[in-house]
Structure 1
Amino acid sequence: MSIRNLPFVLFMTFSLSAFSQNAGVFKDQFAHTYSIVARDSVTGEMAVGVQSHWFSVGSLVPWGESGVGVVATQSFVNPAYGPQGLKLMEEGKTASEALGILIAQDEGKEFRQVAFLDNAGRTEAFTGKKCVEAADHITGKNFSVQANMMLNNEVVPAMELAFRSHPNLPLAERVLKVLEAAQQTGGDIRGKQSAALIVVGPEKVDNEWEDKRIDLRVDDHHAPVEELGRLLKVARAYEFMNKGDVAMEEENVAEALEFYGKAMEMFPENLEMQYWTAIALANSGRLQEAKPMFDSIFQQDENWREMTRRLPASGLLNISEEELEEIVN
């Protein structure tokens, strides 16, 4: 039997019910991995970061809800720990109480590895006796790190050290440091394939689509943690773009250009960021500053020239017809 077929055989051999009272509702899925659940003690944001040699780990392991908590469920994954754990914490159970209730109901608990963190920063984790070694977890105030099927026993301590060593980073970047440390220490014995990062806020939100402040997934990549880091940088740049757009709506051109400038500094080759900066300049009467930027953009991609012709009708470019022709021609 090839090693490549081993996960499937293990999955078929140990396919277990989700919880005893919900038999048949969920089917176990395989996600040996390392992960962190964490909270920022200043902002109250909560996060899950995860990496695995398994396809699309972000669709299985990380769960979170603003104002409630976060969950990482892995090894032979019981997805019910995510929504049911969040529901219990929303009802007022601590992370420890919520996880204890679900572990007690799970006939397959010895194959599970799970970590809960509630909105007060309390954590609880469980590593079943039949998780594939090296398997362990370390919990503390505002964090829990856990891993199974690791190359060595140093991975989890390295994750804890990385979290404690970067207290001044934003939570998402701090979590990324933890994933990087795990990989540098040996990581998953099988290698690398997918990674994910979610961040939720400290307070409940009115709309479901506002729940995740960061929601990034790398489903299949030769260097998933590195790619996750690149995506996080892109996300931060677009946060500046969004702030610039809000400033433009408020007719605060100086602030908008400051935010657009910060985005362009992060990704100077990104035409989108260059373009909307040029639009902001044109709308503020600084056409002569905007024209060289438009010219450079149009030379690289003619579609932006046609885009510019369409914007006045939408109210996104407020200049005269003569000025428009001066830009596009």
Structure 2
Amino acid sequence: MKTVFTFLILLVTAVGYSQNIPADKSAFAHTFSIVARDAKTGEMAVAVQSHWFSVGSLVSWGKSGVGVVATQSFVNPAYGPKGLKLMQDGLSAEKALEQLIAEDEGKAYRQVAFLDVNGTASAYTGAKCVIYADQITGDNFSVQANMMLTDKTVPAMEKAFKENETLPLAERMVAVLKAAEQAGGDIRGKQSAALIVVGPDLVENPWEEYKINLRVDDHENPIEELDRLLKVARAYEYMNNGDLAVEAGDMPEALKQYGTAETMFPDNLEMKFWKAVAMANDGQLEEAKPIFKSIFEQNENWREMIGRLVKPGLLTVSEEQVKEIQNL
């Protein structure tokens, strides 16, 4: 065991320090991933799973209006920001990846995929990536994997991507991860997963960069958990739309948005509460009262919240009606 450990230390040292583009000497992201673009919306995404902690912190990179990058195997994280910069400066995914590979003395240990805003994908699998290691690149996508249990994983990913074209891009990416896992996946098992989605146009503000940005850093079933988080994220998109409707004073629209979110997650008290608030503001106080009462019975803090909504104008009923709600 000591001999094997010493070999790994020497290998990582050699790979991490003897090159022009530095690698993270602690990152062994042997994994499977997909970079893809939705031909209809122009959205671009990266989805990844690995038996390694917090795979999304180093493997997946993206910039709206530019492209996405997956950098794995013995990870060189510089491929992410450097690749996006080259693509933003006008290089295609293929040319950008070729340039960085040429500069990387540790390229034999790398597996990398670039995809640009035009849907052009390019991938590279170094000769010293651990088998089974492979890649398949096509229009608007590239799937790649290394250290897989079988050689069926990458073809299964390609098949899943092509067969799920009617799904929104994020859900399509998760379907690809599921197919990879079902085909055998990482020979070591599973631990973490991540999904990012960026838009087709450059954005002005950093907080607008990601349409979806989800990470499962440590979980016994990371893809299933990622799928669950994506469903929650979709529900909260409706919650956000409801908040915007409240700001605009459009209570019927707020009620519609909050109601849709609650339908997706009927046990979520947050969603129930704001739906009830929208109902009260829309003149449906009597219909909202049983919902408020049920929420208060489960968590008294929501009763206190009612009084705090009046001053900022989030609850627009009369003072007497506020008391009626609080006394439920």
Taking the aligned partners of 1:48 and 1:104, their CA distance within structure 2 comes to 24
Alpha-carbon spacing, 1:8–1:58, altered in 2? closer, same or farther (3 Å): farther
TM-score normalized by the length of structure 1: 0.95
Pairing of 1:15-26 with structure 2 (within 5 A): 15=13, 16-17=15-16, 20-22=19-21
1:143 aligned residue: 141
Q: Which moved more, 1:296-305 or 1:280-289?
A: 280-289
1:178 aligned residue: 176
Indicate yes or no: 2:268 matched with 1:232.
Answer: no
Pairing of 1:307-322 with structure 2 (within 5 A): 307-322=305-320
1:278 aligned residue: 276
- SS of match in other structure, 1:276: helix
Taking the aligned partners of 1:135 and 1:290, their CA distance within structure 2 comes to 57
Which ranges of 4 or more aligned residues in structure 1 deviate by more than 6 Å? 5-8
Taking the aligned partners of 1:50 and 1:8, their CA distance within structure 2 comes to 29
What is the CA RMSD across the aligned residues, in angstroms?
A: 1.7
Alpha-carbon spacing, 1:56–1:12, altered in 2? closer, same or farther (3 Å): farther
CA deviation profile, 1:121-150 (whole Å, cap 9, x unmatched)? 000000000000000000001000000000
- SS of match in other structure, 1:216: strand
Alpha-carbon spacing, 1:185–1:153, altered in 2? closer, same or farther (3 Å): same
Taking the aligned partners of 2:46 and 2:6, their CA distance within structure 1 comes to 26
Alpha-carbon spacing, 1:121–1:223, altered in 2? closer, same or farther (3 Å): same
Taking the aligned partners of 1:11 and 1:54, their CA distance within structure 2 comes to 17
Pairing of 1:14-163 with structure 2 (within 5 A): 14-15=12-13, 16-17=15-16, 20-22=19-21, 27=25, 29-163=27-161
Taking the aligned partners of 1:49 and 1:55, their CA distance within structure 2 comes to 15
Q: Which moved more, 1:216-225 or 1:286-295?
A: 286-295
2:264 aligned residue: 266
1:10 aligned residue: 8
Tell me the number of residue pairs that the alignment of Structure 1 and Structure 2 aligns: 326
- SS of match in other structure, 2:137: strand
Native 8 Å contact 2:55 2:193 kept in 1 = yes
Native 8 Å contact 2:19 2:106 kept in 1 = no
Taking the aligned partners of 1:34 and 1:58, their CA distance within structure 2 comes to 12
**Taking every aligned residue pair, what percent have the same amino acid on both sides?**
64
1:247 aligned residue: 245
Q: Give the one of 267, 282, 296 matched to 1:298.
A: 296
Q: Which moved more, 1:171-180 or 1:247-256?
A: 247-256
1:218 deviates by 0.3
Native 8 Å contact 2:45 2:169 kept in 1 = yes
1:283 deviates by 1.3
Give, as a single letter, the amino acid of the residue that structure 1 aligns with 2:240. Answer: N
1:313 deviates by 1.9
1:9 deviates by 5.2
CA deviation profile, 1:55-107 (whole Å, cap 9, x unmatched)? 00010100000000000000000000000000000000000000000000000
CA deviation profile, 1:198-244 (whole Å, cap 9, x unmatched)? 00000000001110110000000000000000000000000011111
- SS of match in other structure, 1:190: coil
CA deviation profile, 1:164-212 (whole Å, cap 9, x unmatched)? 0011100000000000000011000000000000000000000011101
Native 8 Å contact 2:31 2:145 kept in 1 = yes
Taking the aligned partners of 1:206 and 1:7, their CA distance within structure 2 comes to 47
1:21 deviates by 3.4
- SS of match in other structure, 1:280: helix
2:214 aligned residue: 216
TM-score normalized by the length of structure 2: 0.96
1:250 deviates by 2.2
- SS of match in other structure, 1:281: helix
